[in-house]
A and B are shown apart, each in its own frame.
Chain A
Amino acid sequence: MPPITLSSIDGVPVIAAGLDGPVLAALSFPVGAVNEPLAQRGISHIVEHLALSGLGSRPYQYNGQVSPTTTTFSVQGTPAQVVEFLAHVCHALRDLPLDRFDDEVRILKVEAAGRRTGQVDLDLITRFGAVGPGAVGWREYGLQSTTAAAAQQWADRWFVRFGAVLMTSSPLPDGMTLPLPLGEPAAAAAPREVLLSGRCWLPVDTKLVSVSVVRDSTDIPGGTLGIEAARERAYAALRTRTALSYSVNAIQLPIADRRLLCQLVADGDPSAYASVLEQIASALTDVCEHGPTEEELAFLRERHQLSAQDRGAILSMLSLNASRILRGQGVIQLEEYIDSINAVTPQNVVDILAPSLVAVLAIGPKSLGDALPGWREVSGWSGHRVTGEVFLPRLGRERGTLTIGPDGVTWALHDRACRTVRWDECAAGLCWDNGARRVIGPDGLGVVVHPWAWIDGERLPILVDQYLGAGVRVVMDPGTGPKPPVDTGPPAAASGGRRRLRRLVSNPWLVLSVCAVVLVACVIAGDQYLPSSDESYIWILCVGLGVLSVRSARRVRR
């Protein structure tokens, strides 16, 4: 395999491999969803779209991608085409084509509408709430709130030479430039406290079962091998031995500097979800606690050695080296990496993965239940409440109380169960044109404020807007909000069922018909023979009442 080299263009590190064939290049910036405040979630995506919007159709392949931690512009073509593409991206990032802003946002909304919240999204939200890695799982609210000027500011701050890395499959022509602003080193995001501890269970609408941990990434690939070993173990149990699952996958997603979300996820027959959960949980926790067996490690080493001969392996090494360069480490060659894999021991795996068991999160179908043995429930309540004006619910539309004050908003189901968002910690406040509001706290818990659900609730949007900071306010598209009930007037004193019953009882013909039925029943129950001649008047009475009952039934129907 050709060696990987490190050079620099205009201060941007360039990691290059000496592969033949078309040039594959990727310019990566250290900004992604984890860097975005919830109210601006998706702003990197807007910048990425704008930067590429002027290219249109080209003979070569190009793309842009926003991951949790990076935004990358990639291209595959001739050296000249790669140079042209990169020059375009750099110029566009300096001076975004803001005349395209509205169009690109519209396109992004269409793209977002087709995106579903996945198991990884839910995992990150549950672990980290609405900030940092947690923001990855939320919808792109920035598509509603971001302005063109804000997008340019975001580009000026993050899409600069500091932190950028260029990866290429072969060296690029001399004289090439990357005309990016110098910028400043981006402050590392404050490590977000994980909201979970122990083994936690989250039931959701899904057909998949997943179990995850968050681990540190180190220079020793023991963690990677450990997760792969857990996946192999789960696959053998669920597909080969018990035939309960079709797919069993392992995801290792960077979510912050040196931190990876590691998730085993499997499908399964609905009647076997409990077994699927048990198998993948035991596979993951056993490997984390005791490490893989020597046989499992030998199998994985062989697999890595085989895949190292593939072109894709060297491209993966470019990405690995990009992370190393940004951490101030030197370039590592593919052979060295294979050697480090061969040197991994079960104890290495345990050393890296065992600490991650401090917070294990399982997510699966609701049919399994809300609480499982050996797993803690994910709490949906806050530990504190605020004081302020108290609103009472309209009958049948809400429960509990809603308190809004200068410190925040609290919805309390009762004295010991409430959900609070403080204004100074608010991650986002969603505002709809019909007055509905949803205030989201940093822990991901939200308070929904529907004016129609509370007595005197028409003042609620004004109150919320008064306290909600401009930076977190997200004005949602008209007509997309939660719908108020059709009957917006005060609820009737009696329910529909009671009204119908009252109407029926007040009908004299119906009462008569009921009497007829009762009388017939009495006759049948009271005598097993036909009535004698002196009792024929009873039958005449029954027939008469029966006719009346048919008439009354017709009338009721009308």
Chain B
Amino acid sequence: MRLFSRPQPPHGPATPPPPPVTFDPAAGDPQGHQMMRWVAAGDWRSAHQFLEGVTGWDDRSYFLRLISRWDPFPEEWISATGGSQLAFLARGMQRVQAAWRARGSGKGETVTEQGWKEFFAVLNLAEDDLARAAELVPEDPVPWTSRITVARGLEMSKEEVLRRLGEVNARAPGFRPAYVTAVVSVAQKWRGSHALMFDVAREANRTLPAGNPGRVAIAWAHALRFQYYLGWEKARDTALGYYKDPAVGAEILGAAEACVLSPGFPETLDSPWPRADFALSLALAGDGDIAYRHRSAALFPPLGDSPPVDTLWRERYGGKEGEQFARIRQLSFRAAAAGPTQPAPASPSQG
């Protein structure tokens, strides 16, 4: 019976379906998948042993973000290792995740009383763990990065948020995860302001060396401004026109060229994150597919079909980021094949 089946077109060959895109916490990296298996199996010993050999703050942060998905956290890790910094750091980061799960990702008015209670309680515990981790390995920027997120949740002052970002910068200038969480933390929807958010992002863009991933803060700032127009100010028309503003496009392109499109951009396990963020921002920027989309095309191949989670794709498309990724990637490839029909504006005045 044909009732529940869509018939094939009577003529012509079938269009091959686009490859499935699955947003992946490990961004397609095999070591990351191994870490996820350890997490799933509760094997904290292997995770700990592996992490001790990881050098580079970017890579370390990458694996610790995967570990933070552990639920419930293996408390034995703390006691068996005599309270190692890694264990406290992992638990602190896990608690941050757990607190946010309790709160939910909606606006404040959607959070239940129990949700608030658990959110604050767990975040306070996370703060203790992360402070301990920061003391045990003072040169580590990762605890300070998570402490920025904690400061946001516990409604600490923006001065404190920026102080914590300063601590990160003193240890690892332009540390991408810190810049992303800092920009979110000082955004207007988190009781900061658009001005402060752009100030932080532009300061990073102005001062960080070429290729530094911290410049992705610009992409996040524009995405959050767009989101505020749409979700808070309910200015749908302004929101839809936001990325078409030549000044916005020029700023995103400038940041991308000095970051993911720069020869100095470092390849680490964290690289897919700024790549994914800029890929979306450039694809959205400008008027349709003529201005910036061809520049975003170069960013898609390294991402493959397993782009990373917790990027602007999720922020913008919610549960539909997979199909949107495939669609926009295709549009970008087409734009790249056609070449720019007009030069992308180098400055707002030329837009």
Contact of B193 among A370, A396, A415, A535 (CB under 8 A): A370
Residues of A within 8 A of B2 (CB): 526-527
**Is the CB of B149 closer than 8 A to any CB of chain A?**
no
Of B4-12, B51-59, B133-141, B279-287, the segment with at least 4 beta carbons within 8 Å of chain A is B4-12
Q: Is the CB of A369 within 8 A of B195?
A: yes
Give per-residue flags for A496-536: 1 if the beta carbon is below 8 A from chain B beta carbons, else 0.
00000000000000000000000000110111100000010
**Is the CB of A490 closer than 8 A to any CB of chain B?**
no
Q: Is the CB of B155 within 8 A of A528?
A: no
Known: A395-B113, A399-B113, A414-B120. A376 touches B157 (CB 8 A): yes
Which of A369, A395, A413 is packed against the most chain B CB atoms within 10 Å?
Answer: A369
Residues of B within 8 A of A371 (CB): 157-159, 186, 191-193, 196
Q: Is the CB of A413 within 8 A of B158?
A: no
Residues of A within 8 A of B7 (CB): 527-528
Complex CA gap A515/B123 in Å reads 45
**Is the CB of B188 closer than 8 A to any CB of chain A?**
yes
Known: A414-B124, A415-B124. A526 touches B157 (CB 8 A): no
Interface size on A (CB < 8 Å)?
A: 27
Give per-residue flags for B121-154: 1 if the beta carbon is below 8 A from chain A beta carbons, else 0.
1011001000000000000000000000000001
**Is the CB of B265 closer than 8 A to any CB of chain A?**
no
**Is the CB of B289 closer than 8 A to any CB of chain A?**
no
Q: Is the CB of B195 within 8 A of A373?
A: yes
Complex CA gap A376/B163 in Å reads 12
Q: Is the CB of B6 within 8 A of A369?
A: no
Residues of A within 8 A of B121 (CB): 414-415
Contact of B124 among A368, A376, A416, A527 (CB under 8 A): A416
**Is the CB of B199 closer than 8 A to any CB of chain A?**
yes
Q: Is the CB of B192 within 8 A of A369?
A: yes
Residues of B within 8 A of A358 (CB): none
Which of A368, A371, A415 is packed against the most chain B CB atoms within 10 Å?
Answer: A371
**Is the CB of B116 closer than 8 A to any CB of chain A?**
yes
**Is the CB of B3 closer than 8 A to any CB of chain A?**
yes
**Is the CB of B194 closer than 8 A to any CB of chain A?**
yes
Complex CA gap A415/B159 in Å reads 19
**Is the CB of A1 closer than 8 A to any CB of chain B?**
no
Give per-residue flags for B164-207: 1 if the beta carbon is below 8 A from chain A beta carbons, else 0.
00000000000000000000001010011111100110000000
Interface residues of A in 357-401 (CB under 8 A from B): 368-373, 376-377, 379, 393, 395-396, 399
Interface residues of A in 410-434 (CB under 8 A from B): 413-417
Give per-residue flags for A82-95: 1 if the beta carbon is below 8 A from chain B beta carbons, else 0.
00000000000000
Complex CA gap A371/B197 in Å reads 9
Complex CA gap A368/B3 in Å reads 57
Q: Is the CB of A417 within 8 A of B157?
A: no
Residues of A within 8 A of B117 (CB): 399
**Is the CB of A538 closer than 8 A to any CB of chain B?**
yes
Q: Closest CB of chain B to A506's CB: distance in Å? A: 24
Residues of A within 8 A of B154 (CB): 414, 416-417
Interface residues of A in 422-452 (CB under 8 A from B): none
Residues of A within 8 A of B199 (CB): 373
Residues of B within 8 A of A377 (CB): 157-159
**Is the CB of A194 closer than 8 A to any CB of chain B?**
no
Contact of A368 among B1, B113, B120, B195 (CB under 8 A): B195
Residues of A within 8 A of B195 (CB): 274, 368-369, 372-373
Query: Quick one: closest A residue to B190, CB to CB?
Result: A370
Complex CA gap A180/B6 in Å reads 102
Residues of A within 8 A of B158 (CB): 370-371, 377
Q: Is the CB of B3 within 8 A of A369?
A: no
Residues of B within 8 A of A396 (CB): 113
Residues of B within 8 A of A522 (CB): 3-4
Known: A395-B113, A416-B154, A526-B5. A369 touches B193 (CB 8 A): yes
Q: Is the CB of A376 within 8 A of B3?
A: no
Complex CA gap A377/B155 in Å reads 12
Residues of A within 8 A of B196 (CB): 369, 371-373
Q: Is the CB of B157 within 8 A of A379?
A: yes
Complex CA gap A41/B57 in Å reads 59
Q: Is the CB of B192 within 8 A of A413?
A: no
Complex CA gap A229/B88 in Å reads 57
Complex CA gap A417/B152 in Å reads 13
Q: Closest CB of chain B to A352's CB: distance in Å? A: 29
Complex CA gap A528/B5 in Å reads 10
Q: Closest CB of chain B to A345's CB: distance in Å? A: 37
Q: Closest CB of chain A to B117's CB: distance in Å? A: 8
Residues of B within 8 A of A376 (CB): 157, 159
Q: Is the CB of A368 within 8 A of B127?
A: no
Give per-residue flags for A260-282: 1 if the beta carbon is below 8 A from chain B beta carbons, else 0.
00000000000000100000000
Residues of A within 8 A of B6 (CB): 525-526
Complex CA gap A340/B78 in Å reads 74
Q: Is the CB of A369 within 8 A of B159?
A: no
Residues of B within 8 A of A523 (CB): 3
Q: Is the CB of B4 within 8 A of A393?
A: no
Q: Is the CB of B3 within 8 A of A370?
A: no
Complex CA gap A373/B188 in Å reads 12
Residues of B within 8 A of A526 (CB): 2-6
Which of A377, A379, A413, A525 is packed against the most chain B CB atoms within 10 Å?
Answer: A377
Residues of A within 8 A of B156 (CB): 416-417
Q: Closest CB of chain A to B259's CB: distance in Å? A: 22
Residues of A within 8 A of B159 (CB): 371, 376-377
Residues of B within 8 A of A535 (CB): 1, 3
Q: Is the CB of B188 within 8 A of A369?
A: yes
Residues of B within 8 A of A368 (CB): 193, 195
A-B contacts, 12 of them at CB < 8 A, read A369-B192, A369-B196, A371-B186, A371-B191, A373-B199, A377-B159, A379-B157, A414-B124, A522-B4, A525-B6, A526-B2, A526-B6
A-B contacts besides A399-B116, A413-B120, A416-B156, 19 pairs, CB < 8 Å: A368-B195, A369-B188, A369-B192, A369-B193, A369-B196, A370-B158, A371-B191, A371-B193, A372-B193, A376-B157, A376-B159, A393-B113, A395-B113, A414-B121, A415-B124, A416-B124, A526-B3, A527-B7, A535-B3
The residues of B with any CB-CB pair to A shorter than 8 Å are 1-7, 113, 116-117, 120-121, 123-124, 127, 154-159, 186, 188, 191-196, 199-200
The residues of A with any CB-CB pair to B shorter than 8 Å are 274, 368-373, 376-377, 379, 393, 395-396, 399, 413-417, 522-523, 525-528, 535, 538
6 residue pairs, one from A and one from B, having the closest CB atoms: A369-B193, A414-B120, A373-B199, A371-B158, A370-B191, A415-B124
